[in-house]
Amino acid sequence: MTSEPLHLSRGGTSVVLDPHPHGLPTIAYWGPDLGDMGPDELRGITAAHQPQRVSGGIDVPALLTLLPLESTGWQGTPGLTGDRGGARLYPRFTVTSMERQPGGDGALVEARDDAAGLTVRARLGLTAAGLFTQSLELTNTGDDDYEVRALNLFFPLRHTATEILDTTGRHLRERSPQRHDLTTGTYSRTSRRGRPGADATVLLAAGTSGFGFEHGLVQGIHLAWSGNQQVLAEKTPAGSVFLAAGEVLAPREVVLAPGESYSTPPAVGSWGQGLNELSGRFHRDLRARATHPRRPRPVTLNTWEAVYFALDLPRLLALADRAASLGVERFVLDDGWFRGRRDDTTSLGDWYVDETVWPDGLAPIIDHVRSLGMEFGLWFEPEMVNPDSDLARAHPDWILQAEGRLPLPGRQQQVLNLGNPDAYAYILDRLDDILTSNDIAYVKWDHNRDLLEAADARTGRAAVHRHVAALYRLLDELRRRHPGLEIESCASGGARVDLGILARTDRVWTSDCIDPIERLVNQKYTGLVVPPELLGMHIGGPVSHSTGRAHTLPFRAATAIFGHFGIEWDISDLTEAEYEVLGRYVGLHRSWRDDLHRGSVVHAECPDPAMDLRGIISEDRRRALFGYSLTASSASYPPGPLTFPGLDPDALYEVRPAVPEEGHPGNGQSPLAWLQLALEGRPVRLSGRSLAQAGLQAPVLVPEQSLLIEFRAVGA
């Protein structure tokens, strides 16, 4: 065991761990890389941050440790709460080991309290992208049961942090940003929905006042867990400022028998000079995973908003023909294909192909789709059951429920208890059979309701933790049995977007709302953690099914172009003009796809909230595609210049509209000079430095209109 501070450094990030005399180590520093430091400087850093004893306080000043506890003088949010039948409430751990892990970018800390009968193991790491990861494992070494009520993970903030950013929302409007002052006290976001929920924040961030995407030191955390959870920001009167995260546990949900352990979900921290840099760390880290999708993300057509439950084979065949002719690469059959399913009130759980609709099985539609060169995908909602189903009638005890009664319904459905081995085995068998019997490359995995009274019918015990753990096992097993299968996580749209589910899936459906105005916000803030190739972005129909707003096809397409691109629209009766425009955008996406799904995402800070400017810059910074949108009437008429962050300052770029066929967008009464020159084949040439500082005059757009602009370095 080392009694000296440890300096972890990787990916532009430093973490300094300092041994604590009365508990687990403190994180003396987390933030920008401190460079090479010798032992003397390390000791100096930790000594420089030791607080003084003050009047009215504890004689040993409390510090924020990896596991802050009352036994070490801590009086803020505790790291661990639990007991043995009401006793052993206040453990005090003694560190037995604090070692740097091989490679130098991680640490393992072990501690014990023999009187309390507990050991704890803390794992800390820095990824190549500079993300800071933490997890804790608590083991019961005593002779009787120990109930874990909470086990949280803590990330210290810089004392310059004075403002919080998180997101809220609802179904059809997930991840709307909100800001708060970071003041003394606790700001907490808690989900007890059995999934993160449509109102969950994908990131809790804190930084200097007014931080944005391009400026201000900001730190943020994410909990990689698909169940009940809490993230919080706290400032104590003693000057500690931190973020924390942990699973929310119901009473008696985690009770450790002697020898048993509980492990927290991992929490992940990032930082940046602006949210673009913070977000880029998450994106680079996810792209470095061995399981990350490597091949180009197939352009997808999903049938839901095209046909809903009207699964008529000739209509579907015609839809597939039309999709393939436009360059679509994946055709996904949504809800309604299984036994007895005619609407959303019945048959969830009866996962057999409906013989009355598909007398020859799914082969006719699958074979046709495959003959057109497209992959075939299929919708499931495996965790749910309709009370009006053969499954529910045969096995009512498989449904999550308390006190012998069903919870209030949601979307006319209840939730299967995957923690029940029989229910788990049934779902695994049915999905495995359908995937084995058919040529299915992709599963859209839906989850359409929050959990209420989620208890195991056999024991009455809270079951969310076991259900989520079983879900993870189920997804892992299906992927093991079907190598190459891709899975989308959909949950009433974007109600389950987290790195726990994304460790086992290949994309998320960001929202059931495809209205481009709503999607601009939703995709921007979901993208704080999730890179664009994992974000389902589809072109909806001319009139949004969720908001009733009408938008032009170019605006709808420009909003969807940057992510995992697709179509959610009945395209069987397109006009010739619509067909030509839609095909143009499918082609544009495919031509830029490698850069869009490997490059750096940037959001520019515009002076007018009606303006939105976002882009993706290729890995070598020789190419970039930006989208400029006007979401409402602008306060400036004409608007001022747009500046473009992230380009190579020393490169010289030619600037063109990405879709020159659209000519001059907007309602300006004279041509825009740089745009006119590009249309004449004489594009302006500007350095990345000029584009970032002086910029380009923005076009006069009408509200709800976009212009896609491409930048190509001379000689690229």
- Where are any strands of DSSP class E within 127-174? 132-140, 146-151, 153-156, 163-168
**Whole-number Å distance between alpha carbons of 707 and 557:** 11
CATH of domain 604-713: 2.60.40.1180
| Average pLDDT value for residue range 533-552 | 97
pLDDT reported for residue 2? 55
Average model confidence (pLDDT) for the chain? 96
218 or 54: whose pLDDT is higher? 218
CATH top-level class for 300-592? Answer: alpha beta
Dihedral angle computed from the Cα positions of residues 558, 559, 562 and 565, in that order, rounded to the nearest 10 degrees: -90
Is residue 595 annotated as part of the catalytic site, yes or no? Answer: no
Instruction: Identify the pLDDT of residue 669.
Output: 81
Mean per-residue pLDDT, 560-584: 97
Q: Which of 140-149, 169-178, 631-640, 662-671 has the lowest mean pLDDT?
A: 662-671
pLDDT (0 to 100) of residue 616: 98
The domain over range 6-287 is classified in CATH as 2.70.98.60: yes
Please report, in angstroms and rounded to a whole number, the separation of the first and last CA atoms in the chain.
54
For residue 45, CA distances in Å to 42, 64, 154 come to 5, 16, 20
614-621 contacts at long range (C-beta below 8 A, 24 or more positions apart): 614/524, 614/562, 615/644, 615/646, 616/532, 616/562, 617/646, 617/647, 619/595, 621/646, 621/647, 621/648, 621/651, 621/688, 621/713
Q: Is the pTM of this model over 0.95?
A: yes
Beta strand residue intervals within 173-216, DSSP E: 176-181, 185-191, 204-207
| CA dist., res. 34 & res. 551, Å (int) | 50
Looking at residue 716, its pLDDT comes to 59
User: What pLDDT, on the 0 to 100 scale, is given for residue 351?
Assistant: 98
Catalytic annotation, pick one of 113, 285, 506, 512 = 512
The pair phi, psi for residue 654, each rounded to 5°, is -90, 135
Please pick, among 113, 166, 334, 446, the residue that the annotation labels catalytic.
446
Average pLDDT over residues 320-332: 98
Is 446 one of the catalytic residues? Answer: yes
Q: Where are the domains of the chain?
A: 6-287, 300-592, 604-713
| Mean pLDDT along residues 543-567 | 97
Tell me the percentage of the chain whose pLDDT exceeds 70.
99
